[in-house]
Amino acid sequence: MLKRQLGTNGPLVSQIALGCWSFGGAYGPTDETTTHATLAKAIDLDIDFLDTADVYGNGVSETHIGTFTKDNPGRFKIATKAAITRTPDNVRVFVNTEEHLRTALEKSLKRLGTDHVDLFYIHRRQADLPIEDVMETLVRFKQEGKIGGIGFSEISPASLRRAHAVHPVMAVQSEYSLWVRMPELGMIQACRDLGVAFVPFSPLGRGVFAETPPDPATFPDGDFRKPNPRFLEPNYSHNLKAIEPFRAFAAAKGVTTPVLALAWVLHQGNHLIPIPGTRSAAHLEEDARAASCVLTPDDLAEIERLLPVGFAHGDRYSEAQLVGAERYC
């Protein structure tokens, strides 16, 4: 597995990393044994960068990672996130104060069984708190040795530039895939210009680019996709039909649909480090094959013809899911 750098001065990590949201049950039930099997497969595949968060299963994802790394120390670079919380009446809010972030980070470190994480993200911005003030808090965490680098999730290019003026940002993560292209309208370019890693999450479209696409009728309560507009009818049927020629193109090249979709992401820039999420060792092994899938300029042009920018039916988030993500176009 080839390496890519997390920011200008950050560590080298595998060019395909592992998103660990599903370790907390976001897409259905899971358990520690399944998580550990997936992490063991990651080691076999030389995938050495994990992405988690304190809210993934209310700490379950971090806890299961921690129990694995206790017996496998030094095998992974780990990123975690904080800032999402809920009020007593269960309303989701975003808190970027030093008190909240410090408490959340300490809890994450305890669950992960470490005193340091390689990358710490603000999961969502607190709109009424200047990002410069948030950066000062994060710089203190770095000076204290608790974090190796600073990151933000779902911010705008303008916010990134403001933050980076205070102290170098190591990484920004946003949803990016063949059916979510908004980062091309400024974020990928801003990251490249500033020497910041861009970390695409959901690079396989939350499963729509799996070899066998999911059936929304089987989504359990709590599955993030259940209220998602792209998985609701009639949008979902339109989307599956639109993707059929891409599936045929992948088959003609002798690769699976997810391999081709993930390879396309990798080809969008050397500063991109996608984090496909899975709780399946077999799926992770398939994802890793994208690292060796070479696409020619003709291949990339054909993919653009088959799935032009904006082909997807329905918004990428419901209105409730969209709250907190910065819009910039």
Give me the pLDDT at residue 236, please. Answer: 97
Give me the pLDDT at residue 91, please. Answer: 87
Give me the pLDDT at residue 123, please. Answer: 98
CB atoms within 10 A of CB 157: 21
How many Å apart are CA 240 and CA 163, to the nearest integer? 39
What's the token pair of residue 204?
């396989």
Averaged over 4-25, what is the pLDDT?
Answer: 95
Q: Are 157 and 131 in contact (CB under 8 A)?
A: no
Active-site option among 56, 121, 176, 317: 56
Tell whether omega for the bond before 234 is within 30 degrees of 0, i.e. cis. Answer: yes
What angle separates helix 257-266 from helix 297-306, to the nearest 10 degrees? 110
pLDDT at 329 over 90: no
Per-residue pLDDT band at 45 (split at 50, 70, 90): very high
Averaged over 240-262, what is the pLDDT?
Answer: 98
Averaged over 90-104, what is the pLDDT?
Answer: 95
* Catalytic residue flag (residue 176): no
How much is the mean pLDDT over the chain? 96
Which positions ≥6 away from 234 have C-beta within 8 Å? Answer: 313
pLDDT tens digits along 99-110: 999 999 999 999
Give me the pLDDT at residue 25, please. Answer: 84
Give me the pLDDT at residue 325, please. Answer: 94
pLDDT at 89 over 90: no
Q: Are 206 and 224 in contact (CB under 8 A)?
A: yes
Give me the pLDDT at residue 197, please. Answer: 98
Averaged over 115-141, what is the pLDDT?
Answer: 98
> Which residue did the predictor score with more confidence, 68 or 91?
68
Averaged over 204-222, what is the pLDDT?
Answer: 93
Domains, the chain, in order of start with CATH, read 3-208+264-288 (3.20.20.100)
Give me the pLDDT at residue 201, please. Answer: 97
